[in-house]
């Protein structure tokens, strides 16, 4: 039987000891309960080791059991809460229900009733554990189904039924690497008219696919799948001029397949593209290339760009492509950014482009970069200088020089944005620290209040503050108040309750509790030690 942990919380230790004696914890499937004497101490215990079940009294110093339950549920939603009290008040019971407590038990506690409560909780925890294990089984089933899911993804991609914005999500979920930066689709067509004796077309297709994966996959990080009865290959390339070598490799493979598999294979090869969403266009070209086997013959590779009539280059939205670069700048992945720049330059500049067209391309690029910097409050002189004519200089660059300049510029923009974010974060934390310095004596000072002052969410504030200071805001505030209290005890002859109020504590007993926890002695004894 799996054992679960229990934390008992009550300022009267004899009560918790009595509860521990009432039940045979091991027999019920629980570890020997741990103990905390108030809500604050319980939170500390839970921070180090989250208990499965917390049983707490309501009336305790510094923090009530209801306040503790609320905090625990916020921090650890799966925790089970049992509230016990000597007060038979409807409002307490109603609050316990609102906090989703398992039980509200009245003192004196009946051992049979308590045993029944813990047995129910144990069953509930077991059920939750079983559901988690079932989730692991589902993950295992998912991994077994992954090849089929990948095939469905590729089919949707070639059909044009895949939204561009959804592609990154499916690539991640289906563990598909399409990092490119360039892609070329090839279709392996196997003739059905001259199959080897005793071998079906399906078995021959499997044999050819295995062979092509062995011989070509490593060079092009290719992806293979079945589509409309043929094996489709998506080859990934580092540059568009690799298509010639790819065609030659495919042509050699066709002759190899004839020798090894006795298969008459024709490979149709589409255009090289720079975007995943354009793979369907490359597939369309590969399909056309396969159809040319009636003119050029079989058992060879046919590249559509070599045999189809040349078509006029379509216009494309250079502004949209630049915005894609700007998105990558903010993502802070330098490798992806550089590949996106390469794709932008390669698509925007092409063979046969006139000088006027090239100059317009450069002018538009400079204008968009300038607008991006202004929109992100960056100093444009950091990129373009104070007096240099950027257009005059860049319009004289050739394609390679322009690509190098744009890569360097984009990585510099990335660095400038990173510095700006860091400066904003430090400024943000400094404001919070200054606010504590000015308002630490205010008893109502809290995370919510300071977040309201800074106009940020508490989640963001807490993450940033701890990252910059190494402390949570509550810990920082407590340390600051205690240091102030220490100075007041040294410098002024004041009563403890007066000093407590001066550093933001309305309850002098709680102030003494925190002080002793911080410095190992009470304020009064510390003051006596000074004299």
* pLDDT tens-place string over residues 22-57: 899 999 999 999 999 999 999 989 988 899 999 999
Residue 197: CA count within 13 A, CB half-sphere: 0
Within this chain, domains 6-130 and 177-307 share the same CATH topology: no
pLDDT single digits (tens) 58-94: 888 889 889 999 999 888 988 999 998 877 666 777 7
pLDDT single digits (tens) 296-305: 778 888 888 8
pLDDT single digits (tens) 272-285: 999 998 999 999 99
pLDDT single digits (tens) 121-180: 999 998 888 877 776 776 677 667 788 888 888 988 888 887 888 888 888 888 888 888
Spatial separation of the C-alpha atoms in residues 51 and 45, rounded to whole Å: 9
Alpha helices in 160-309 (DSSP H): 167-173, 201-215, 217-220, 243-260, 279-291, 293-296, 304-307
What's the mean pLDDT in 208-224? 87
Spatial separation of the C-alpha atoms in residues 296 and 291, rounded to whole Å: 10
* pLDDT on residue 513: 92
The sign one gets for the Cα dihedral 492, 497, 499, 501 is negative
The domain 440-530 having CATH identifier 1.10.10.60: the answer here is yes
Query: CB under 8 Å to 501, separation ≥6 — which residues?
Result: 441, 443
Domain 6-130 class in CATH: alpha beta
User: Of the CATH numbers 3.40.50.2020, 3.30.70.270, 3.40.50.970, 3.40.50.2300, which one belongs to the domain with range 177-307?
Assistant: 3.30.70.270
97, two tokens: 């229900």
Task: Give the pLDDT band (50/70/90) at residue 312.
Answer: very low
* pLDDT on residue 331: 67
* pLDDT on residue 150: 86
Neighbours of 5 (CB within 10 A): 15
Task: Give the pLDDT band (50/70/90) at residue 319.
Answer: low
Task: Give the pLDDT band (50/70/90) at residue 498.
Answer: very high
Give the residue extent of every domain in the chain.
Answer: 6-130, 177-307, 318-420, 440-530
């Amino acid at each position: 039987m799996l054992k679960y942990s229990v934390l008992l919380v009550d300022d009267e230790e004899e009560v918790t000891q009595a509860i521990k004696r009432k039940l045979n914890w091991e027999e019920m499937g629980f570890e020997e309960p741990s103990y905390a004497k108030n809500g604050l101490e319980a939170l500390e215990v839970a921070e180090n080791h989250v208990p499965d079940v917390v049983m707490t009294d309501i009336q305790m110093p510094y923090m009530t059991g209801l306040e503790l339950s609320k905090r625990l549920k916020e921090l650890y939603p799966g925790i089970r809460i049992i509230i016990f009290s000597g007060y038979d008040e409807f409002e307490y019971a109603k609050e316990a229900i609102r906090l989703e407590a398992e039980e509200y038990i009245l003192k004196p506690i009946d051992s049979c009733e308590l045993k029944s409560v813990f047995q129910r909780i144990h069953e509930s925890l077991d059920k939750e554990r079983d559901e988690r294990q079932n989730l692991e089984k589902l993950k295992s089933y998912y991994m077994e189904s992954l090849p089929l899911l990948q095939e469905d993804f590729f089919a949707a991609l070639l059909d044009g039924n895949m939204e561009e914005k959804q592609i990154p999500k499916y690539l991640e979920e289906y563990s598909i690497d399409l990092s490119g930066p360039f892609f070329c689709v090839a279709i392996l067509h196997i003739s059905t008219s001259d199959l080897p004796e005793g071998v079906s077309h399906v078995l021959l297709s499997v044999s050819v696919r295995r062979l092509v994966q062995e011989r070509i996959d490593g060079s092009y990080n290719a992806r293979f799948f079945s589509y409309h009865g043929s094996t489709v290959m998506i080859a990934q390339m580092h540059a568009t001029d690799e298509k010639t070598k790819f065609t030659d490799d495919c042509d050699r493979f066709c002759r190899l397949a004839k020798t090894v598999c006795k298969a008459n294979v024709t490979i149709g090869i589409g255009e090289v593209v720079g975007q995943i969403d354009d793979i369907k266009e490359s597939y369309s070209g590969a399909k056309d290339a396969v159809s040319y086997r009636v003119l050029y013959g079989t058992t060879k590779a046919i590249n559509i760009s070599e045999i189809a009539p040349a078509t006029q280059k379509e216009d494309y939205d250079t502004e949209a492509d630049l915005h894609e670069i700007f998105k990558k700048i903010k993502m802070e992945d330098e490798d992806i950014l550089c590949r996106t720049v390469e794709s932008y330059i390669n698509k925007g500049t092409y063979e046969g482009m006139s000088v006027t067209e090239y100059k317009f391309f450069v002018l538009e690029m400079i204008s968009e970069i300038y607008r991006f910097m202004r929109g992100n409050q960056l100093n444009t002189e950091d990129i373009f200088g104070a007096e240099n004519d950027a257009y005059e200089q860049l319009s004289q660059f050739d394609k390679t020089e322009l690509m190098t300049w744009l890569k360097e510029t984009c990585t510099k923009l990335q660095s400038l944005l990173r510095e700006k974010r860091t400066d904003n974060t430090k400024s943000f934390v400094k404001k919070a620290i200054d606010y504590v310095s000015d308002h630490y004596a205010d008893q109502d000072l809290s995370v919510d209040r300071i977040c309201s002052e800074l106009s940020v969410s508490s989640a963001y504030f807490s993450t940033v503050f701890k990252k910059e200071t190494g402390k949570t805001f509550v810990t920082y505030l407590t340390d600051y108040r205690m240091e102030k209290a220490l100075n007041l005890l040294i410098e002024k002859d004041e009563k403890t309750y007066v000093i407590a109020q001066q550093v933001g504590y309305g309850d002098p007993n709680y102030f003494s509790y925190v002080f002793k926890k911080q410095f190992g002695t009470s304020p009064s004894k510390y003051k006596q030690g000074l004299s």
